[in-house]
């Protein structure tokens, strides 16, 4: 039995997911994280499982294990996602399309669905999904990525309506540029172009993201659901 609040975060081996896990561990949460690779966080309150979120059976088994160990799940942050390329549509192969669909859409769907089942039984919970301001910028080279994140936003709004009678809230944080390995891999020219298109002409920090997530997941935020917060951008 765990006395601290229970949080699930997907995609915790690096980047924003790893930063969020470390942040919420520092706030007293017990965090269950996952990625396709091994754990990169060491804490007695952090528990890692290697999971492909796009694999329905793996997700179901993982969430059931957490539910068995903890009897409840207080917060889900569905962060795992693919950012593989900035190819124009005419140059994007099927393998890239399928990878985005597998992780960004199917992965988010399976994790939200399985955690929602557990939260419905306890009649409480907070679900936060991670999107991107690319859904508003229509940037060339994001013809696969941006639509999958638009799907995440719509999925979350529908789930918010479905779960509202049970006291569960579902909201979205749409990220601006963040200085991570994924964004750096596209080069300085691309990074500078994206920053120029933002309202805030700088990357947002992982700590800033965590504070937005904290607002959504607070017990006092029960009146906020089905919302998308676009960081660093006036929409």
Q: Give the number of C-alpha atoms closer than 13 A to the C-alpha of residue 108, restricted to the C-beta side.
A: 28
Spatial separation of the C-alpha atoms in residues 227 and 215, rounded to whole Å = 12
CA nearest neighbour of 56 among 8, 103, 18: 103
Indicate the pTM of the whole model. 0.96
Q: For the sheet containing 168-175, what is the strand order?
A: 46-50, 30-35, 6-10, 75-78, 125-132, 168-175, 228-230
Sequence-ordered strand ranges (E) for the chain: 6-10, 30-35, 46-50, 75-78, 125-132, 168-175, 228-230
Which pLDDT band holds residue 188 (cuts at 50, 70, 90)?
confident
Q: What's residue 42's pLDDT? A: 95
Residue 45 and residue 25 in contact, taking contact as beta carbons nearer than 8 Å = yes
Q: What's residue 139's pLDDT? A: 93
> What H or E segment, with its residue span, contains residue 60?
helix 56-70
Residue 89 and residue 141 in contact, taking contact as beta carbons nearer than 8 Å = no
> Position of tokens 């994206």?
194
Which pLDDT band holds residue 41 (cuts at 50, 70, 90)?
very high
Residue 107 and residue 204 in contact, taking contact as beta carbons nearer than 8 Å = no
CA nearest neighbour of 39 among 30, 28, 50, 29: 50
Over the stretch 122-165, which tens digit does the pLDDT of each residue have? Answer: 999 999 999 999 999 999 999 999 999 999 999 999 999 999 99
Rounded to whole angstroms, what are the CA distances from 192 to 38, 85, 186, 197, 219? 32, 16, 11, 9, 38
Q: What's residue 70's pLDDT? A: 95
Q: What's residue 183's pLDDT? A: 59
Spatial separation of the C-alpha atoms in residues 57 and 76, rounded to whole Å = 18
Spatial separation of the C-alpha atoms in residues 219 and 126, rounded to whole Å = 9
Residue 43 CB contacts under 8 Å (≥ 6 apart), including other chains: 25, 31
CB count within 10 Å of CB 81 equals: 27
Q: What's residue 13's pLDDT? A: 95
- Over residues 27-39, the mean pLDDT reads 96
- Over residues 204-233, the mean pLDDT reads 97
End-to-end CA distance of the chain: 44
Spatial separation of the C-alpha atoms in residues 180 and 81, rounded to whole Å = 13
Does residue 211 register a pLDDT over 70?
yes
Which pLDDT band holds residue 181 (cuts at 50, 70, 90)?
low
Which pLDDT band holds residue 180 (cuts at 50, 70, 90)?
confident
């Amino acid at each position: 039995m765990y006395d601290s609040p229970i949080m699930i975060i997907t995609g915790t081996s690096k980047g924003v997911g790893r930063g969020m896990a470390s942040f919420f561990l520092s706030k007293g949460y017990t965090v269950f994280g996952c990625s396709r690779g091994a754990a990169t966080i060491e804490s007695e309150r952090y528990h890692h499982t290697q999971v492909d979120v796009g694999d329905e059976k793996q997700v179901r088994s993982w969430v059931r294990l957490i539910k068995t160990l903890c009897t409840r799940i207080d917060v889900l942050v569905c962060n795992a996602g693919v950012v593989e390329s900035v190819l124009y549509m005419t140059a994007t192969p099927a393998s890239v399309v399928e990878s985005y669909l597998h992780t960004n859409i199917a992965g988010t769907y399976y994790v939200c669905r399985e955690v929602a089942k557990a939260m419905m039984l306890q009649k409480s919970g907070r679900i936060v999904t991670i999107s991107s301001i690319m859904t508003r910028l229509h940037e060339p080279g994001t013809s696969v990525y941006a639509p999958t994140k638009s799907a995440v936003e719509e999925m979350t709004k529908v789930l918010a309506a479905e779960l509202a009678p049970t006291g569960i809230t579902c909201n979205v944080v749409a990220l601006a540029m963040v200085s991570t390995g994924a964004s750096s891999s596209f080069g300085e020219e691309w990074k500078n172009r994206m920053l120029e298109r933002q309202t805030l002409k700088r990357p947002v920090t992982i700590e800033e993201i965590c504070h937005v997530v904290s607002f959504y997941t607070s017990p006092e935020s029960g009146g906020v659901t089905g919302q998308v917060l676009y960081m660093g951008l006036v929409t």
